[in-house]
Structures are given as structure tokens and as C-alpha cells.
Structure 1
Amino acid sequence: MSGPLAGRRVIVSAGPTYEDLDPVRFLGNRSSGKMGFAVAAAAAQAGADVQLVAGPVHLPTPDGVTRVDVRSAAQMHAAVFAALPADIYVGAAAVADFTPARVATSKIKKRVGEAGLTLELVRTRDILAELAADPRRPRLMVGFAAETDDVDDNARHKLAAKRVDLIAANRVGVAGSGFEGDDNLLVVHDAAGQHSLGPGPKTAVAADLVALIAHRLDPEPP
């Protein structure tokens, strides 16, 4: 297929991760996967060979995209690294930062006289930071930052800390941006500054993000 990303291999991670507590319950988040799936679709339409690593969502696979379904942060980490090599990585998934230290083999029951329950959580592996430091690092890496406060400051910090090329930041918990809805507004940060994409449908914002990625890979001559 022709297009600005023809011949490029792209890995996109999308959706939430679920961290099991027991056979009944899990820790999760509100990510619907819609933004990541829209990015995967736009990249395929731009001619790329797209590998989509999807958390537990209820979305159809975009045309021309190869999909791997995972549940936990550990499974997503393994699937992303198994998909290498790639020219581009877009980490749009909302990956859990913590997971239970132990998973109960049977349902955790409330007991008479027990006032509460204490869970021990441990850090999950940082997919974005580990991939940025890996010898097989994709040429262009894009991370996402879903924030409730200090969006730009947190995005710039993440850009430097993770050592990636772009951070696409958005404010969650407000109408027209973030989890679950069909619209979004992204502010994409790089070493030179920032670019606003949207507000608009996630499909349109994704197309703009993919166009920005393609331009970063192959900038037009001055």
C-alpha cells in the first residue's frame, strides 16, 4: 500500500490493562482503547505494517492491522517486545503502574469483624522506558500522558524521563478529552515545543498524529 508510512513497521499499544486480585476481581482503568485503535487504523491507512497490542477492550480490529490481545501489564510488555523490530512505537495504552504482589487462587471473602482489606502492590515494568533504552529501539517513539493536573509540565517531564521523541498529552476527566468518549484533544510535546491536535473525533486526531509522525520521520526539505 502506498502512503507516507509505506514500508514502515509500526507497533501500537492500546486500551487498559487488568491486574487480577483473585479469580473474580481486578484492578483496571477507564481506557476504552478508542484512541489507540484510531492510531492503528490511521497508520495502516498511511501504508504502514501495523501490529496492534490490545488490552481488554470491545472494539473491532481495524482493516489491515494485525492484532494481539493481552490482559495484564506483564502480558502487554511481552507482546510489545515480541513485536520488534519496528520503525515506530506508539504507546497509547493505559498500562497499570502497579499490580498485586500476590493473586489469590480463590475469591477474597469479607470476614466478620474485618474492618478493611490491605493490598500489597508492586511496580509493573515500564514498557516505554525499557523500550527507549533497548538496542532495538524503534527510530521514533511516541508516549501518551493522561493527566488530571499540570498536563504540560507532566508531559515535558515524561518526555525527558522516558527519553522518547514525542509525548501526546491530554487532560482526562473533562468533556471532549480522554477516556471512554469519542472525541479528544491532544497536545504533542517534543524537544522543540508543542503541537495541538483537535479538539475533534479521535479518528481525526489520530490521523493528524500519524501525519505528524510521518513528517518527523521524513521531513520535507526546506
Structure 2
Amino acid sequence: ARVTLVAANASMPDPAGVDVVPVGTAVELREAVLRAAADADAVVMAAAVADFRPATYATGKIKKKDNQEPAPITLVRNPDILAEISQTRARSGQVVVGFAAETDDVLANGWAKLKRKGCDLLVVNEVGERKTFGSEENEAVVLGADGSETPVAHGPKEALADTVWDLVARRLE
């Protein structure tokens, strides 16, 4: 397979044989993903993109002034890349996979997100203290637009990745 990895804040070396596209913002991420998705059979949106970003950026340090509170930070929405990719498929038969980190009502929120985003598969997992982020292990359920639920028991993240790719491959056949 030809693989393009669009990555921000990556601390690992680039994987061998992979085209890596570094990005720094959600807007740059959107542009790079749209370019890469144009000829992709499968798009896996594993990034945890923030829902909002500051409307303006300071060019330097915001210094503290005597007894003065800082100005409020105005936020604007980041683009919903998963929904955009899902709704405007670049290719017929393209498989789109999203991820949902949930803190409560994991499956109910996952099914609602799958419907709202319009992707083919949604990997849903519960997050919280000592769960998922920064851990080498994970537990998830992969929801399918066809109504399927594929649970993945707690274990190495590689096992979850294998399950996701098996589900993608079946949809590409």
C-alpha cells in the first residue's frame, strides 16, 4: 500500500516507506488531508483535533500587568475534517474511519457521532484518567454504518489497529 501520514506534534521517527506530511494547525491538517484523500482508497482519521482554536494569536509573550486580569480568549470552531471527508468522498467506494474518545455513554455517543459524521467506521473508546492517551494499550468498539459493532478487548494498540484494518479491507473488497 502507498501510505500518507499527516501528522502534527509527532515525537517518533517517520515510519519507513510512508510519505509524511507535517502540519502545525487544524487548518493545515484539513488542507493536507483533503489533498491526500483525493486518491486514497481509505482515510483513517485517528487525530484528536481540538474542536476550537484561538481567534487570534499573540506574536509574543502576553505579559502580566500589575493587578490586571488578562483579556478573555475568543475561540472559533476548527474545521470538522472527518465530516467533510465523509460527506464529500473524493472517490467512489472510499472507506472513511473516524475515532471518538468519550467520557460517558460511550456507545450512545458513538452511534450519534457515527450518524452525524457520516463515516463508514467509528472507533469508540472511553477516555479518562490512565485510559488511552499515553498508554500502550487500549479497549474499543468499532461501530459500522451498517449497524455492526466489533468489540476489541483491552490489549495492545496493535491489536486494535489490526481489527480496524481488517474491517476496512472487507469494505474495500
Structures share a fold, TM > 0.5? yes
1:147 equivalenced with 2:102 (yes/no): yes
Aligned-pair identity in percent equals: 44
With 204-213 and 83-92 compared, the bigger mean Cα shift is at 204-213
> Structure 2: which 5+ runs fail to align?
none
> Structure 1: which 5+ runs fail to align?
1-47
Higher relative contact order (CA 8 A, sep 6+): 1
Structure 1 residue 194, shift from structure 2 partner: 0.8
Structure 1 residue 64, shift from structure 2 partner: 2.2
- In structure 2, relative to structure 1, the CA distance for the partners of 1:79 and 1:97 (3 Å cut) is same
Q: Tell me what 2:121 maps to.
A: 166
Aligned to 1:157, what secondary structure does the other structure show? helix
The alignment's TM-score, normalised by the length of structure 1, stands at 0.72
Quote the Cα distance in structure 2 between the aligned partners of 1:136 and 1:109.
46
User: Is the Cα contact below 8 Å between 1:53 and 1:68 reproduced in 2?
Assistant: yes
1:106 equivalenced with 2:60 (yes/no): yes
**How many residues of Structure 1 are paired with residues of Structure 2 in the alignment?**
170
Q: Which of residues 32, 37, 48 in structure 2 aligns to 1:94? A: 48
1:76 equivalenced with 2:29 (yes/no): yes
Q: Tell me what 1:16 maps to.
A: none
Note the aligned Cα RMSD (angstroms): 1.5
Quote the Cα distance in structure 2 between the aligned partners of 1:172 and 1:94.
12
| Deviation sequence 1:108-163 (CA, Å, 0-9, x none) | 11111123541100001110111122251561110000111111111101110011
Aligned to 2:141, what secondary structure does the other structure show? strand
Quote the Cα distance in structure 1 between the aligned partners of 2:95 and 2:79.
21
Aligned to 1:85, what secondary structure does the other structure show? coil
User: Is the Cα contact below 8 Å between 1:197 and 1:209 reproduced in 2?
Assistant: no
User: Is the Cα contact below 8 Å between 1:147 and 1:169 reproduced in 2?
Assistant: yes
Give the AA of the match of 1:64.
G
Q: Which of residues 61, 75, 79 in structure 2 aligns to 1:121? A: 75
With 134-143 and 49-58 compared, the bigger mean Cα shift is at 134-143
